[in-house]
Amino acid sequence: MATSIRPEPIDPAAVLWSAAAPDRVGRPLLLVLHGYGSTEGDLFSLAPHLPLQPTIAALRAPLQAGQGWSWFPIGVPGDPVGDALDAAALGIIEWLDALPEQPTSIGLLGFSQGGAMTLQLMRHAPERFAFAVQLSGFIGSGTHPGDARLAELAPPVFWGRGTLDPVIPEGAVARTQAWLPTHSTLTEGIYEGMGHSISQAELGEIVAFLREQYAAPAVPTA
Helix segments in the chain, DSSP class H:
40-44, 84-97, 113-124, 147-153, 170-183, 200-215
Q: What is the pLDDT of residue 3?
A: 55
Q: Model-level pTM? A: 0.94
The correct CATH number of 12-215 out of 3.40.50.720, 3.40.50.1820, 3.40.50.620, 2.60.120.560 is 3.40.50.1820
pLDDT in tens, 61-83: 999 999 999 999 987 777 886 68
**For residues 146-181, b (16+ Cβ closer than 10 Å) or e, as one string?**
bbeebeebebbbbbbbbeebebbeeebbebbeebbe
Q: What is the pLDDT of residue 216?
A: 59
Least confident stretch, 17-21, 23-27, 72-76, 178-182: 72-76
- The residues pairing with 65 across neighbouring beta strands, listed in sequence order, are 68
Please, which pLDDT band fits residue 44 given cuts at 50, 70 and 90?
very high
Q: Where do the structural domains in the chain lie, given as residue ranges?
A: 12-215
Is residue 37 within 8 Å of residue 64, measured between CB atoms? no
Please, which pLDDT band fits residue 132 given cuts at 50, 70 and 90?
very high
pLDDT in tens, 139-153: 999 899 999 999 999
Q: What is the pLDDT of residue 1?
A: 44
